[in-house]
Amino acid sequence: MNGKAGGYTIENPIPIPDGQVVRKKLHFFWLADCSESMRGKKIASLNQAIREAVPEVQKAVAAYPQVEIVMRAIKFSTTAEWHIGPDPVPVEQFVWPELETTGLTSTAKAIRLLAGELSMERMPRRALPPVCILISDGFCTDPREEYESAITDLGKTPWGVKAVRLAVAIGDESEYNETELLRFVNQDQIGLLKAHSPEELVTYIKWASVSASVASSRGRSRDARSMGEVSNVSLESPPPMITSNTDLF
């Protein structure tokens, strides 16, 4: 085989018409806790925060016309399932349906569902680093072994390694397992984003979604087969928080 197709070669690919931009997909995943402990102010703030964040992401990435953001959302309580998906939705068409609370906190099942979508079979071979944001207020109620297995599976997927993975913890530190949530995060300089109030939750969700999307958009397209490479995405520090003690979760 001579590497030619219709007169074009790998060195001289099919030309792109003037004025057209080849767009690269940036896959964005929300993982949202909707367990019973999220009832009331927490789930209301989460719903509001994501609704406000989506147009901010769209606006911020408009400076990168070569990037097309497509979003999906996983919700988890006693089990994990698609809130929006499994087919990705262009950010311009993404609408956040109200989350309702029920059941336990199956974080492991949510991470396993995500890992399946980041597999070579489900993702394009070349793309921008995906963005994955986990939001939870509690301890994972799945068996410890199941959580460890899900994190391991995520780390074995090429796109799981290259993704920008952030986590937002809601409420008092005694109500969630910080070490457990940090296992999901792969941005060591950021760590776990701790939201003690509705105001902080909205701010962190907006910051995480916009900053990660812009940083990924600036990064070069990656090849999922380059297993030795990790994400080339680096984020700046999140904004400092000053919260009134009268408005805590």
Question: pLDDT tier at 120 (50, 70, 90 boundaries)?
Answer: confident
Share of the chain above pLDDT 90, in %: 76
Class of the domain covering 45-219: alpha beta
pLDDT at position 226, please? 54
What average pLDDT score do residues 149-176 get? 96
In Å, how far from its chain's centre is CA 190?
Answer: 15
Contacts of 76 (CB under 8 A, 6+ apart): 31, 32, 33, 34, 35, 105, 106, 107, 109, 110
88 has pLDDT over 90: yes
* Cα separation, 61 vs 65, whole angstroms: 8
| Domains of the chain, residue spans | 45-219
* Cα separation, 117 vs 29, whole angstroms: 10
3-state secondary structure 192-224: CEEECCHHHHHHHHHHHHHHHHHHHHHCCCEEC
183 to 95, 103, 148, 192, 199: CA distances (angstroms) = 29, 23, 9, 10, 25
pTM of the full structure: 0.88
223 to 124, 161, 208: CA distances (angstroms) = 9, 12, 24
* Cα separation, 158 vs 121, whole angstroms: 11
14 has pLDDT over 50: no
Whose structure tokens read 């394009």? 124
CA 98-104-105 angle, 5° bins: 80
pLDDT in tens, 190-247: 999 999 999 999 999 999 999 999 999 997 555 555 544 555 588 988 988 876 667 8
Q: How much is the mean pLDDT over the chain? A: 89
pLDDT in tens, 163-197: 999 999 999 999 999 999 999 999 999 999 999 99
Question: pLDDT tier at 152 (50, 70, 90 boundaries)?
Answer: very high
Question: pLDDT tier at 7 (50, 70, 90 boundaries)?
Answer: very low
